[in-house]
């Protein structure tokens, strides 16, 4: 199925709506790293990525900055990388802002792989540039600000 279609390739076996899936996941989170019960509800939310990305983006923003690395790993690999797989142009600018303003969210994004739309050459360049910036140890605020300005310039030139 293409990213614009409203019919998902797979359906959640447990929930009829993304709201139900998010409500259940929110009831078990943050949980504990040794508790696998928190990964399954996050996987279930992922079934709605193609058709209902907005509430999933809100969920990603809420939990993608959590101090628990295992929880952020679930958010990165089950939701964020797939949100960008199907809705790159719509959400990547927001991802960039979060990455550049929130170190925990930056670490979440760092765990993502490229699929679908995020692997298209122009998108891939932006994705990889942002990940490279996260890995970089900034020597000064000015150096970091110059990197952000370059990303912004690239983004604005790609919007034409």
Please report whether residue 55 resides in a domain.
Answer: yes
Percent of the chain with pLDDT over 70: 73
Two tokens, residue 13: 């076996």
CA 124/CA 122 separation, integer angstroms: 5
21-43 average pLDDT score: 80
Please report whether residue 10 resides in a domain.
Answer: no
Q: Is the model's pLDDT at 150 over the cut of 80? A: no
Please report whether residue 50 resides in a domain.
Answer: yes
What is the structure's pLDDT at 33? Answer: 65
| Structural domain of 139 | 18-158
Q: Is the model's pLDDT at 52 over the cut of 80? A: yes
Please report whether residue 119 resides in a domain.
Answer: yes
Alpha-carbon distances of 148 from 4, 24, 49, 95, 104, rounded to whole Å: 30, 37, 28, 13, 17
Please report whether residue 58 resides in a domain.
Answer: yes
Q: Is the model's pLDDT at 87 over the cut of 90? A: yes
Q: Is the model's pLDDT at 85 over the cut of 50? A: yes
**Under a CB-based contact definition with an 8 Å cutoff, are residues 147 and 136 in contact?**
yes
Question: What would the pLDDT profile of 103-149 be if each residue is shown by its tens digit?
Answer: 899 999 999 999 999 999 999 999 999 998 876 555 565 666 676 66
Full DSSP string of 35-85? -GGGHHHHHHHHTTTTT-HHHHHHHHHHHTT-S-HHHHHHHIIIIIHHHHH
Q: Is the model's pLDDT at 88 over the cut of 80? A: yes
What is the structure's pLDDT at 153? Answer: 65
What is the structure's pLDDT at 92? Answer: 97
Please report whether residue 53 resides in a domain.
Answer: yes
Give residue 36's pLDDT band: very low, low, confident or very high (50, 70, 90). Answer: low
Please report whether residue 73 resides in a domain.
Answer: yes
Tokens 């509800």 -> residue: 41
Please report whether residue 141 resides in a domain.
Answer: yes
Number of domains the chain is built from:
1
């Amino acid at each position: 199925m293409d990213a614009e279609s409203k019919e998902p390739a797979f359906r959640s076996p447990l929930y009829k709506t993304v709201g139900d899936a998010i409500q259940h996941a929110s009831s078990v989170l943050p949980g504990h790293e040794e508790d696998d019960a928190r990964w399954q509800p996050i996987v279930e939310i992922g079934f709605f990525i193609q058709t209902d990305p907005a509430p999933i983006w809100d969920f990603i923003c809420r939990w993608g900055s959590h101090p628990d690395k295992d929880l952020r790993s679930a958010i990165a690999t089950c939701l964020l990388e797939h949100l960008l797989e199907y809705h790159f142009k719509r959400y990547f600018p927001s991802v960039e802002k979060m990455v550049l303003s929130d170190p925990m969210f930056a670490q979440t994004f760092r765990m993502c792989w490229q699929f679908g739309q995020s692997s298209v050459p122009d998108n891939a360049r932006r994705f990889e540039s942002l990940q490279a910036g996260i890995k970089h140890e900034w020597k000064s605020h000015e150096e970091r600000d110059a990197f952000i300005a370059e990303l912004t310039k690239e983004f604005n030139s790609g919007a034409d």
